[in-house]
């Protein structure tokens, strides 16, 4: 029974991101010349599809996580009717510190080394995508749902599979986090190319490296502390980048 409650908690946490991203995507697809569906129909289809994917990731994380001993102590306790406030405080504390470090390292790297070397068309396209998404979509769909999909679900499944080949949990984690982190980066590529980015080696490398960096930090915290810490890191990553980007543009 507690597994069902845990699943409902995680799915409920993901609903705002599903709603907001579905609205954004439906509005974007509605303006396509070959679209024949209403905005409401597009929203329903996208939201339903995303809900199914998130639910499958939640189920996978619960099932495979239990096989390898990876879960979230606070949410696990909550599903059983107890409050592990010490773990929650620990996750919030480590997640806050790691989130600030994660964001600042990437922002400095991006503006100092990466952005000046990427073509202007791609820079403008990627920045336009971020502006169009807005902060709310980025922290709910990106910060919450991407962690449920890629860390809670996919990382747990991949670690379970790798542990069939090696007895070392540490080796399984690092193999899994690099594999899923690269996939996480590549998953962002089609949307940016569709918006006009030029697929140069540097653009692709920066997209993979940036998302791999986030994956390593979030994945490690999920493995060692819980999914709440990973979500907090990812949310702070988007919040800090959003604020700094707007500050730089206002100059």
On whether the CB atoms of residues 161 and 63 are closer than 8 A, the answer is no
Query: Which residue matches tokens 């600030």?
Result: 100
pLDDT in tens, 55-98: 999 999 999 999 999 999 999 999 999 999 999 999 999 999 99
**pLDDT attached to residue 248:** 78
Residue 247: how many CB atoms within 10 A of its CB? 9
What average pLDDT score do residues 162-170 get? 94
List the end-to-end C-alpha distance of the chain, in Å, as a whole number.
Answer: 55
Residue 113: how many CB atoms within 10 A of its CB? 10
On whether the CB atoms of residues 238 and 138 are closer than 8 A, the answer is yes
134 Ramachandran zone, left/alpha/beta (phi>0; psi -120 to 50): left
pLDDT at 251 over 70: no
pLDDT at 1 over 90: no
Residues 174, 52, 163, CA angle at the centre, nearest 5°?
A: 25
Q: Determine the Cα–Cα distance for residues 103 and 198; give it in Å rounded to an integer.
A: 25
Exposure of 162 in the CB half-sphere (CA atoms within 13 A): 20
What average pLDDT score do residues 132-161 get? 96
How would residue 54 be classed by pLDDT, with cut points 50, 70 and 90? very high
Confirm whether pTM is higher than 0.85.
yes
Q: At what angle do helices 120-137 and 169-194 cross, to 10 degrees?
A: 110
What average pLDDT score do residues 115-132 get? 92
Q: Determine the Cα–Cα distance for residues 74 and 89; give it in Å rounded to an integer.
A: 10
The rounded mean pLDDT for the chain is 94
- DSSP code for 196: T
Residue 128's SS3 state is helix
**pLDDT attached to residue 163:** 97
pLDDT in tens, 27-43: 999 988 888 899 999 99
How would residue 156 be classed by pLDDT, with cut points 50, 70 and 90? very high
Contact residues for 129 (Cβ-Cβ < 8 A; gap 6+): 191, 192, 195
- Residue length of the chain: 251
Tokens of 173: 């984690």
**pLDDT attached to residue 247:** 82
Q: Determine the Cα–Cα distance for residues 61 and 194; give it in Å rounded to an integer.
A: 31
How would residue 250 be classed by pLDDT, with cut points 50, 70 and 90? low
Q: Determine the Cα–Cα distance for residues 219 and 231; give it in Å rounded to an integer.
A: 10
How many percent of the chain have pLDDT more than 90?
88
Q: CA separation (Å) from 247 to 83, 210, 244? A: 39, 21, 5
On whether the CB atoms of residues 193 and 205 are closer than 8 A, the answer is no
For the chain, the domains span 2-249
Q: Determine the Cα–Cα distance for residues 137 and 123; give it in Å rounded to an integer.
A: 20
pLDDT in tens, 212-243: 999 999 999 999 999 999 999 999 999 999 99
CA-based nearest residue to 239, from 146, 149, 140? 140
**pLDDT attached to residue 33:** 87
């Amino acid at each position: 029974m507690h597994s069902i409650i845990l699943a409902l908690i995680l799915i409920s946490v993901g609903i705002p991101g599903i709603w907001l991203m579905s609205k954004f995507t439906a509005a974007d697809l509605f303006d396509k010349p070959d679209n024949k569906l209403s905005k409401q129909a597009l929203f329903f289809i996208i939201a339903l599809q995303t809900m199914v994917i998130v639910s499958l990731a939640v189920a996978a994380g619960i099932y495979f996580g239990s096989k390898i001993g990876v879960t979230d102590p606070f949410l696990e306790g909550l599903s059983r009717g107890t409050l592990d406030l010490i773990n929650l405080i620990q996750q919030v504390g480590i997640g806050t510190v790691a989130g600030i470090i994660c964001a600042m390292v990437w922002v400095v790297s991006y503006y100092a080394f990466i952005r000046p070397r990427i073509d202007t068309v791609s820079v403008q396209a990627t920045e336009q995508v971020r502006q169009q998404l807005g902060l709310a979509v980025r922290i709910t769909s990106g910060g919450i749902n991407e962690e449920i999909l890629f860390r809670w679900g996919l990382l747990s499944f991949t670690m379970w599979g790798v542990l069939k080949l090696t007895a070392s949990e540490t080796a399984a984690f690092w193999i899994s986090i690099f594999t899923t982190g690269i996939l996480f980066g590549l998953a962002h590529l089609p949307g940016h190319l569709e918006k006009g980015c030029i697929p140069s080696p540097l653009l692709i490398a920066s997209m993979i490296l940036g998302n791999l960096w986030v994956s390593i930090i979030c994945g490690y915290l999920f493995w060692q502390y819980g999914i709440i810490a990973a979500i907090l890191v990812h949310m702070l990553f988007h919040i800090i980048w959003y604020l700094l980007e707007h500050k730089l543009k206002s100059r």
